[in-house]
Structure 1
């Protein structure tokens, strides 16, 4: 599905034009019933609204509910695991997982980008796409604000959250694919059977959304 550019948007938001609007969809919360081997993914449902701000930034408002039901099958569940037997159907009860507000700000071009070459390239080719720096601040009630940084390149976003010691504590990856918004959130967690203190990034949730 082609991306329509709203020319009334502030030019700073052109790189995120594909994200602006209202979305909803479902996905998987990884290992939601525990951390032991065999823990199962459960279903989540998300409502997302992305709105252009007058100052050229983007407002992000996300509401995610956990649903007492098995997670959707791939590709919606990007990290689904094979089960020896089908998981229980669940009650379908919805529980708020979190509400999140954010502000996204598109920055300068990522170093090494050639604006002139991109302008001369045939539209729609990889050479015509530029990467911009991206900052995002997320806040959830009762938790400190998080400052994420990354880049947007075409209909793709990569963001990372740094820990106080400079290690990557979490990542978020977004992609606009065939009219759907796909995204994956990973968090750093202890490695099962790993060395003391050993951690690695592992899936936290993944969602497939459609535009409302």
Structure 2
């Protein structure tokens, strides 16, 4: 399948054009403070012609057969491309956490490091994070390492998502 730059995409976003669209798949998560889990995930990157991508992610906790048990995490945010292959990303979670991320892109590989975070009074405190996104064999690979609730930075969730055809 040939790839084309989405119509109306701001030229600053051309390096991220490969991400635009909806991706779905499954992943796995673990952390010392929660039981290991599997999840289904849908991620959408879209634009309105301005120099940022809109980001939406939602997930569902699933059983071993892939059946939905309950809703999982949701995130919304904005991705901005800056000079020298720098990305600035803001993400807010349904759990009361908002984060600023800064990172680099190198073709279809993106690495982000949490710059700042805010947690609502009832939310867990996340003190550090690293996110990796990449296009691997035509699929969106995603991994998130997290330090929270007194734990050191470590693997938390990872998933592989297929591009959805409109």
Calculate the TM-score normalised by the size of structure 2.
Answer: 0.82
What's 1:98 paired with?
Answer: 73
CA separation of 1:68 and 1:7: change in aligned 2, threshold 3 A: closer
**Cα shift readout 1:139-158 (whole Å, capped 9, x = no counterpart):** 12351421111111100111
In the aligned structure 1, how far is the partner of 2:113 from the partner of 2:29?
19
How many Å apart are 1:163 and its aligned residue? 5.3
Unaligned runs of 5+ in 1: 70-88, 110-131, 191-196
What SS does structure 2 have at the residue aligned with 1:17? helix
What's 1:43 paired with?
Answer: 38
In the aligned structure 1, how far is the partner of 2:105 from the partner of 2:92?
21
How many Å apart are 1:47 and its aligned residue? 0.8
**Cα shift readout 1:6-40 (whole Å, capped 9, x = no counterpart):** 36421111010110001100010114xxx38xx86
What's 1:204 paired with?
Answer: 156
In the aligned structure 1, how far is the partner of 2:141 from the partner of 2:97?
26
Q: Answer yes or no: is the 8 Å Cα contact 1:189–1:202 preserved in 2.
A: no
How many Å apart are 1:172 and its aligned residue? 0.5
Aligned ranges for residues 6-155 of structure 1 at < 5 Å?
Answer: 6=6, 8-31=8-31, 35=32, 41-69=36-64, 92-109=67-84, 132-155=85-108
Aligned ranges for residues 165-204 of structure 1 at < 5 Å?
Answer: 169-189=128-148, 199-204=151-156
Q: How many residues align?
A: 155
What SS does structure 2 have at the residue aligned with 1:18? helix
Q: Answer yes or no: is the 8 Å Cα contact 1:185–1:203 preserved in 2.
A: yes
Structure 1 runs (4+) deviating above 4 angstroms are none
How many Å apart are 1:4 and its aligned residue? 3.1
Q: Answer yes or no: is the 8 Å Cα contact 2:6–2:20 preserved in 1.
A: no
What SS does structure 1 have at the residue aligned with 2:18? coil
**Cα shift readout 1:132-188 (whole Å, capped 9, x = no counterpart):** 110111112351421111111100111111357xxx700100000111000100101
- Larger of the two Rg values belongs to structure: 1
* Structure richer in strand, relative to its length: 2
